[in-house]
Amino acid sequence: MPNGPFVTTVVGSLPKPPWLQEKLPLNAAGKQVHGKGAAWLFDGELLLQAQDDAVRVAIHDQTEAGIDVISDGEQRRTSYMAHVVARLGGFDYGTPAKKWVRNNRRLAEVGRCTGEVLRKVPILVDDLQFTLEHSSRPVKVTLPGPMTVVDSTLDEFYGDERLLALAVADALNEEARALDALGPAVIQFDEPVFSRYPDKVAEWGIEALDRCIEGLNAKTCVHVCYSYPMPGVPRPIVDAYPNILGELERSKVDQLALEFEASGLGPDLLTLCPSKTILFGCIDNGALGFERIETAQQVADRLLAAAEYMAPNQIQVAPDCGLVPLDPAVARLKLKVMVEGARLARGRL
């Protein structure tokens, strides 16, 4: 892992090239976030080659922008969550169900848990191996977190959210250990629903998260945001961070990836998690407008404000969330602005 003030990284997803996948809004029925995802524009061996090329493009874009810790852009995934969960034993995405998710934010088509949750086969191991072989920079790999899996699926087997979450955590930990053996810099678990259910975070969310990271050598991270912006879908910013950051402080995870730009939350919240490395979200992914591009000066100002509450060496620079909703050209510009803002902030320390 690189060190020093304001290391730059990403949350995970980047836009798909227009030649790889159909372009749909994230709230399209039965698609994208919770369901099977948008359709690929190739199939068979040609699809595998196209996905390889898309990962190469993602690596190039991040490297050219100057990102210190990169991802594969989740270029092989139709959904950041379902891509992983559908490959676990016990889940059925062939006959999805309707469910209100994200504390009644939206009615979504989701997969169903119909049996015991097990990791039957490696899921992301080959993907990570490819990225490591083609990257000259440290790599992070992302997995969905157990509370988000519980919220994003319909339980027809366990009958208890905590029991389902712990079963998912055990399966994810098995996958994470296999990924860890390849030597990634960071293994991240995405838990956007932490911001929607602070009571559940305290009751069993931290327990499940800690179970996910048992025995890992890589740095571990949890990403907590207020979910992807979707046209026509409310995105309320509830006062959850003050509650959940104290809970996350007592977790075993090393890093917290938090949203500050679009949410407008104040950096004084960092005093609630003094032992953690913070991925400080200072680039939005469309919540404030899909064509809006921050300036380097704005990024630097945000980082220096955060540095009043936490040592700069503990602050990493990241977008609020994955950049998949954006046009690829906009995402590239945002990454470059973010890196330049971090450089300006270092010069003003």
The span from the CA of 53 to the CA of 250, in Å, is 41
Stretch 66-72: mean pLDDT? 98
Residue 45: what pLDDT?
A: 98
Residue 32's pLDDT band (cuts 50, 70, 90): very low
The span from the CA of 58 to the CA of 54, in Å, is 6
Neighbours of 16 (CB within 10 A): 25
Residue 108: what pLDDT?
A: 86
Residue 26: what pLDDT?
A: 66
Overall fold of domain 7-348: TIM Barrel (3.20.20)
CA atoms within 13 A on the CB side of 323: 33
DSSP for 81-104? THHHHTTSEEEEEEEEEEEEETTT
What letter represents residue 254's amino acid?
D
Stretch 225-248: mean pLDDT? 81
Of the two residues 303 and 226, the one the predictor is more confident about is 303
- The percent of residues above 70 in pLDDT, for the chain, comes to 95
The span from the CA of 113 to the CA of 115, in Å, is 6
The span from the CA of 220 to the CA of 42, in Å, is 34
Residue 240's pLDDT band (cuts 50, 70, 90): confident
